[in-house]
Structure 1
Amino acid sequence: MALRTDWPVVDTAISFTSTVGSATPYTYWVSVLPRTVAGGQTRRGRQYELDAVQAGEMQLTLDNTDGALSPVNTASPFYPNVTPYRPIRQRMQWPPTQQLLTADQATAGDASALPTGAIPSSLQALSAYGTPTLAAGPVGNAYQLAVPGSSTVNQSIVALAGWSVTPGKVHAVQAMARNITASTSAQVLAELAWVDVNGAIISREQGTPVTLPGSAGSSLVQVTATGTAPATACGALVSVTLVSQTAAFTVQVDKWQVEQAAAPSTWTQPGTWRSLLSGYVERWPLQWGEAGLYTSVQITCVDQFALWSPQKLRDPFYLDVLATGPDWFYPLDDPANVTTVADLTGKRLAAPITVSRYGPGGLTTGNSVQATTAAGLFKGTTASVASFNNTTPSGSFQAATYVQLDAAGIHGPPIGGAGWTRIFAFRAPVGVPAHDSAMWMAGQPTFDEAGSNAQVFGTLSASTAGIFGFTPGAFAVEFINNSTAVVNWASPNSVCDGNWHLAVITVSGNGLTVKITLDGVTSTVSPASSATPTGLVTDTLGVVIFPGQDQIYNGYVGDLAHVGQWSSVLTSTQIGNLYTSWRSCWAGDSTGTRYARILAWAGFPGTSAIDTGATASMGPASDVSGQDVLTSLAAVVTTENGNHYVRADGAAVFESRITRYNRLTPSFILGESTATGELPYEDLAFDFDPTRLSNDVEVTQSASTQTFRATDAASATTYGSKSLSRTINTSSALECVDAANYLLARYKAPDLRVQKLRLHPSARPAMWPSVLQLEIGSRVRVMRRPPGQPAIQFNGFIESMAWTLSPGDAYLDLEISPADLALYWLNAALHTTLSTGASAGASSVTVTALPDSATNPFKASVPAGLQLTLEPGTVRAETLTVSTVSATSPGYTTCTVTFTSTLGFTHASGSVVCEALPAGFTDATTWDANALLGSTTTLAY
């Protein structure tokens, strides 16, 4: 592969073996760069900071003369996987090298100074013999794996995936390996394994075996292999493969290189791969030109936002239930006047609403949720419920209307196996029920007090003299086996209060552990014999029925909803989460937690980078119901007043409002003064208009619908009345006030915005390493020095990035929103220095006094449990937890800090010691200037 020193290596590849739901990172990629015609265009982001973020998009024209990219071509090596939403990536490597691997793959993490231990998934290291780790090797890290004795040969000891293969091209691999187990010997070789569209290995290319003699200080031995990728290759693995062994041994592998070459070249550390877009091929439109002789495909590619736009979300409680994999779940939220109730999972038939042979009782659907008190409601769903009114008992022959689950193929809980769980929500009228009132019952065909019978009841007790003999109005659970009540449990208090309650019953596989969780409180029953009834036939809601004796009685009066079952025992955490979801709908989430929760509801399998969020307590998540995923995520971002986007590498990013407050200095300066390090630009257009001006701001609290207003009369007089309205889902009314005032202060006057700025790295290759680091949200400074006029200095954040590539040319167009010019007050990071040097292995250090030493003791700022970082941003950086600090008095000059663990490095006197810094920061003094609180200090929220 010929390299240009002034042009990055470009990788455009499709993963035909992966889908939207595949785990990331994707394993196999095939390059389509040789098919690329006339470059392409990529755009991500939004216009300015108040606009909605758009889905990223890439347009590429690919040569399809051979028909391989035709969706209906059965002879294509990619058939039948030429379908919408196959993963695609476009990335560039700088500095350019022959390496197809990432720098961390090739160096076992040394390029990023990864710690020893578990291997990050981004390295895509695999093994047929176990899980490799990162360990200290002869030079930096190495991949390490213990190979068991008598292992099957010709399998991968360590393999690397994720690089792009080019069909028909010769590829070469090299690696260095050694055996560190004394008195053993092994033979290994390098291997290239080609896979087809199904991920199955087509063929292997193996190099010459080499012997690895075992010793703790053994030397690295090179292994190599070369081979041509078949025309049908859709991906590949490179590996160090086992040939033979004398015993169990531990191998280390390092210095990998994969390249397009007839033979391995001198090892080179790869340049950094920077993505332009990672997403999915959405469309494969076929085109014929030149009188039908030339075929091309002009593919449209999108990022993850495009997939979230059409994906609708259900009520949060339903989403959480479905995520746990129930066998069936009848919400009982069906509309009025139906004759069946539907299973939300789609696994079961609709269950009929059945009338007793002795006449109808009362059962209506489509009823609104009601409760005696606000706390007695549930918020996890806004759907309707079913109301039962089987009020007239007549011995064992009652008129009633009920839900017949057994007609849908449900005959009680499963027997044995992994146990079972059943859930249901209920609301009983205030007062003692007139008779025992069965919400759920499963039983055998007949009831014989003297013989063998089995039943499971979930009921309300009428009196101490009733069948169950419990506290009047209590929620009772009884399991009967062979006429013996092996479980006989009741709640200590009445639940007939007009409020909603959630009951969860779990039974272990052997039937000897029964747990009843009522409103989040769990009681455990340990029966002497199995509590799992056998031979159950009936399963009903709202009545007790024994069809073999024509007995129907204990009709239920009250509301029911959310009846479901699992063929497993849900964990206490799962049950607790379901109760929280049902009762409060996750009110109290931080914005970061809510954003992550929505990603989980969406089934997003990719990577994410999610800030905690400055909004610490949101309202219920009920606002997602019926909304698409992207709208729901955007609502969280609006509440936070933060930002979100899909990073160029495909990761979903949520940034709190604090993130941009913390970006105080520009990453790069764009201007014509190249001698001072500025990046030159070509086209520049500023926008200055009142489109985003607002002097009448209304912020509405989502849960209460209360509106908070902030206005500026002077701005309205100058520019006319300009309104801005937004709804935020915070539980704090004060935060709504703060948000309104902040937005008013931010937008009551117009501001410059960069409408277009073009960077042209192909014309100035020295710019490549800087330009490829730019990302949405990067803070930059734009300098414009017009002749005879004052210089314009514009500080802003990149909101939109649009790449255009063509043969021999590449440029990047940016749109930039203004950085807030106010210097907001922020807490500074606690920082000091070592008074004396500290050696590796020590558990304590002596530090110099803090700035407030004249008035406050050291422990007031550094309590036990605080994490301190020594030498942040260096190769010796390490973070430890404070155990104790020595006593100090006002005016102290030093203090001894003892940690819960020992130092891993030696640190010199004067080394920085600070509290743990936010991700991406290494300078503890970053916030010092903002930490001075005075009469003119501006406060954000």
Structure 2
Amino acid sequence: MPVLVEMGWGGQVQTPEEILWTDISRRVDLMQGVTITRGASDELSEIQPGTATLTLDNADGALTPGNPSSPFAPYVRRNAPIRISQAVMPVQSGAAPYPVSMLGDTFDDGVVDLVLWPASYGGVTEVDGRARIPLVPGSSASYQSARTWVLAGSQIAVKVAKLPAANGSSAAAARFMVNATTSGTRAGFTYNALTGTLRCVSEVGFSDGAGVTLTYSSIDHLWLRLREASGVLRWETSPDGWDWTARRTLATPAWVATGQVVVDLPASRTGGTADYVEWDLLGAQVRPRFYGMVNEWPVQWEGLLSSVYISATDLFKRLNRQPPLRSMLGMEVLTRDTTTGRFSFPAAYFPLAEPVESAAAGSVVGAGIGALASTQVGSGGALVFGEDGVPETGETAPTFTPASATAGRYLVGDLGPQMAADATTWAINVQVWIKTSTAGRAILGLSDPLRTSQLVLSLNGSGVLTVESTQDGTALVVGTSSSGNLADGAWHHVVYDGSGKRVYVDGASVSGTLLATSSPDLRTIYVGGYRSARLFSGQIAHLSLHLANGPVGSVYAVTSDARTGFSGESSDWRVERLARYAGLDSVTVLGNTFDPIASQGPAGTSIVARLQEVETTESGKLYAERDYYGLAYQSRDLRYNPSADAETFAIAYADVEPGIQLADDDQKLCNQVEASRPNGATQIVTDAPSVAEFGAYEQQLNVLKTSDAAVTDAASWLVFRYADPDPELREVPIEAATMPEFLDILDADISSYFTVYDLPAQSSALEMRVTVEGYTETIKEQSHLIQFRTSASARDSIWILDDPDYSVLGSTTRLAY
């Protein structure tokens, strides 16, 4: 079974949708094999970053970093994206007619298989593991099978290895077709080299006026598949042979359901210069094994032979490299998504969290944004950085203490020419946190150099938020909101939406007449006053300017909830929020039980540490996907009461490789837990019978629960499961390539179940169901050895009233958590 190793030269691992993959599978040393490690050692351990190691042939120097003659230069470098898959080829069995899914060819032996392709013509060959079909002017060629296949209820896929160019011809095409018995009646894909289009066709008389035409993408259409199921014929494409997108669907034509078909790969051109098309891995079913980045390219020599032994790590490498997070409030400012149909971005963000000795504040985003310099007006007054900021953020803020409204210090800065130009095109939005007991002062202001355009956020004499603006150099027009008195000595979050002409205070929209519509050419910014007057008395923090193409104030208003670290939101939402902070677009959430989680508001911890806090708090599982740059988060209930229907596969003990063991020790024993939560009680949960029999096995449990009762539940769940663990299989080695259930075995991932049955008579049970916690696999020529690390599935069973399996007194009466 071929291993498929692809490099994303020049791409970024975090943007797989933009990577043009290069197949380097023929360079892989399959004598040493490809080794991949994934998951955790057991269910109580943290899941580790996934890794892959493999040796590549470098005889031509193409994989030597810095080699300018390499066809991959200059992209042979650290952190290059890599993905590894297993291409499982079909096995033909039974008697004709065969399902077309049994037709498979790797094209690796250098000889056209005349049993599979007896009707081939036109000089087709196999070159470098690919089927090559020439496009010679004035003639045609094809790989063509015998008429022994059936498409109904089946499928056939192929990988595009190389497509032809137009080369001066008036017509040049390559096709992947399934032909009916009637000439010209067929279905499949046609690539037009002149237009660069891929057409999904169901032809009669060699024509289909309703065909679906796509602009060919070498990324999205790398794999093509024709599939029939339940009366529907589907044309599908895939970037990796695993994740398919339907490009056309059609009620199954009658000839598909009634006749035997030919698989045809024809190509032709009318003129110009000869060229060819290449196909690969026809009929393969792909199973992704690893997605990550190469850590290094160490070149080594033995005489004149050269090889590269590389290691790669999944997305946790990138996550672990990220700097400590800002507070959740700060991260919301930087990453808050906008509503559908809107586009916005932070053009400047001044956290104002500089240390006490600072005399200026800087923006952490934006090009050409100048620092906010402490500026004296009149005499007296003070501006001190590094004082207590917005509560629960762990970040400081400056305190403005003017001697009067016209004497003291405030901040002045130059937003730069780019910001000024952008503000002419985009609407400006402002969000800021304030704390004051003094009304009648300006929070901040912006203006162009000539003060033709001005925008000021201020508090009037009653402490009510106002927006003052002009776009033509005339006097400022004051718009008064209905915010109520904000000069009350408390922190308030203020958002000004320049497009919607609205303001939001502490997350809620407040009404008022706001006349500001646009603010072109804004460049100078004043913070803590405006133009040497109305100096602010109090604190200002987390000032950000956002440019947008429509109303987005309601989106930024949500940042108000970050003051409490979003305490009480469900754990799945928290994981998705943290993933956004890490630059991940989405998280695959599995399961249904997601409890409220406490604040993780303060700055200073890493993204991985925060994710693992959630994982531990909820007894869930968090890991990197193995087919793309993404996270998966499983709730604990995904493992409740595993049934035979949920099993990925079952395997006889006789089919397991040597090395399986039945473990019964105190490695996981836990009968006393001291549990706590932030600002909550410390509680102890004990299983007295277990302590009496084995002695105390203590464990500390610190979780981000929102109530003491939830802490007790979490501690009880741990003690219930491990006060007296039953014997279990902790490792199950399987030579998957020899198993009829090869595909099912490859589908097994973290938290999958399988059963080992017909255990030896000396075993405590004749069969045991286990849960996958992780695995190490080694892929070699005709070998795929997977060493599954497992736990006892029964440990996650919970009580169900009157159920024959899950209400057995003293055995399966464990209450759910």
TM-score range, shorter chain: 0.7 to 0.9
Report the AA paired with residue 419 of structure 1: A
2:316 to 305, 308, 318: 305
Task: List alignment gaps of at least 5 residues for structure 1.
Answer: 1-7, 102-137, 144-159, 179-187, 194-200, 222-232, 241-249, 370-376, 448-452, 463-471, 546-551, 674-678, 829-926
Report the AA paired with residue 78 of structure 1: F
In 2, distance between residues paired with 1:664 and 1:238? 35
Aligned to 1:88: 82
In 1, distance between residues paired with 2:352 and 2:81? 40
CA change 1:308–1:99 in 2 (3 A) is farther
Matched, 1:28 2:2: no
Report the AA paired with residue 505 of structure 2: L
What CA deviation, in whole Å up to 9, does each residue of 1:829-868 have, x standing for no partner? xxxxxxxxxxxxxxxxxxxxxxxxxxxxxxxxxxxxxxxx
In 2, distance between residues paired with 1:779 and 1:501? 51
Aligned to 1:578: 559
Aligned to 1:697: 673
CA change 1:612–1:521 in 2 (3 A) is farther
1:486 to 466, 477, 481: 477
Say whether the 8 Å CA contact 2:496–2:553 is kept in structure 1. no
Name the TM-score, length of structure 2 as normaliser. Answer: 0.74
Report the AA paired with residue 772 of structure 1: L
Aligned to 1:609: 588
Aligned to 1:322: 334
In 2, distance between residues paired with 1:34 and 1:413? 51
In 2, distance between residues paired with 1:49 and 1:643? 9
Report the Cα offset of residue 812 of structure 1: 1.5
SS of aligned partner of 2:720: helix
Aligned to 2:791: 817
Report the AA paired with residue 486 of structure 1: V
What CA deviation, in whole Å up to 9, does each residue of 1:571-598 have, x standing for no partner? 14422332333x3322222111111222
Matched, 1:461 2:469: no
SS of aligned partner of 1:742: helix
2:775 to 779, 783, 801: 801
Report the Cα offset of residue 346 of structure 1: 5.4
What CA deviation, in whole Å up to 9, does each residue of 1:870-908 have, x standing for no partner? xxxxxxxxxxxxxxxxxxxxxxxxxxxxxxxxxxxxxxx
Say whether the 8 Å CA contact 2:497–2:552 is kept in structure 1. no
Say whether the 8 Å CA contact 1:461–1:476 is kept in structure 2. yes
1:136-215 paired onto structure 2 within 5 Å: 174-176=175-177, 190=191, 212-214=206-208
Matched, 1:401 2:401: no
1:372-387 paired onto structure 2 within 5 Å: 378-379=391-392, 381-387=393-399
In 2, distance between residues paired with 1:257 and 1:706? 71
In 1, distance between residues paired with 2:664 and 2:3? 37
CA change 1:214–1:779 in 2 (3 A) is closer
Matched, 1:725 2:720: no
Matched, 1:715 2:694: no
Report the AA paired with residue 322 of structure 1: L
SS of aligned partner of 2:667: helix
In 2, distance between residues paired with 1:387 and 1:161? 66
What CA deviation, in whole Å up to 9, does each residue of 1:194-219 have, x standing for no partner? xxxxxxx9x99xxxx99854567x9x
Report the Cα offset of residue 237 of structure 1: 5.3
In 2, distance between residues paired with 1:257 and 1:812? 37
In 2, distance between residues paired with 1:41 and 1:936? 38
Say whether the 8 Å CA contact 1:421–1:505 is kept in structure 2. yes
1:146-545 paired onto structure 2 within 5 Å: 174-176=175-177, 190=191, 212-214=206-208, 270-289=283-302, 291=303, 293-312=304-323, 313-323=325-335, 325-345=345-365, 347=367, 348-356=369-377, 358-369=378-389, 378-379=391-392, 381-393=393-405, 398-406=406-414, 415-429=423-437, 433=439, 436-443=440-447, 455-462=454-461, 472-480=462-470, 482-508=473-499, 514-523=501-510, 531-532=517-518, 538-545=524-531
Aligned to 1:67: 61
Report the AA paired with residue 672 of structure 1: Y
Matched, 1:634 2:634: no
In 2, distance between residues paired with 1:585 and 1:486? 37
Matched, 1:19 2:12: yes
Say whether the 8 Å CA contact 1:142–1:252 is kept in structure 2. no
Report the Cα offset of residue 79 of structure 1: 0.7
Aligned to 2:93: none
SS of aligned partner of 1:319: helix
Report the Cα offset of residue 192 of structure 1: 7.5
Report the Cα offset of residue 319 of structure 1: 1.9
Report the AA paired with residue 626 of structure 1: G
CA change 1:267–1:636 in 2 (3 A) is closer
CA change 1:368–1:354 in 2 (3 A) is same
Aligned to 2:167: none
When the two structures are aligned, how many residues end up with a matched partner?
684
1:661-676 paired onto structure 2 within 5 Å: 661-665=640-644, 666-672=647-653
Aligned to 1:148: none
In 2, distance between residues paired with 1:632 and 1:822? 25
CA change 1:514–1:311 in 2 (3 A) is same
Aligned to 2:626: 648
Say whether the 8 Å CA contact 2:429–2:496 is kept in structure 1. yes
Matched, 1:745 2:717: no
In 2, distance between residues paired with 1:758 and 1:724? 31
Report the Cα offset of residue 340 of structure 1: 0.8
Aligned to 1:918: none
Report the AA paired with residue 461 of structure 1: N
Aligned to 1:754: 729
Say whether the 8 Å CA contact 2:178–2:263 is kept in structure 1. no
RMSD: 4.5
Percent sequence identity is: 22
Name the TM-score, length of structure 1 as normaliser. Answer: 0.65
Report the AA paired with residue 537 of structure 2: V
More divergent stretch after superposition (641-650 vs 326-335):
641-650
Task: List alignment gaps of at least 5 residues for structure 2.
Answer: 91-102, 108-149, 165-172, 180-188, 226-246, 253-261, 268-274, 337-344
CA change 1:778–1:173 in 2 (3 A) is farther
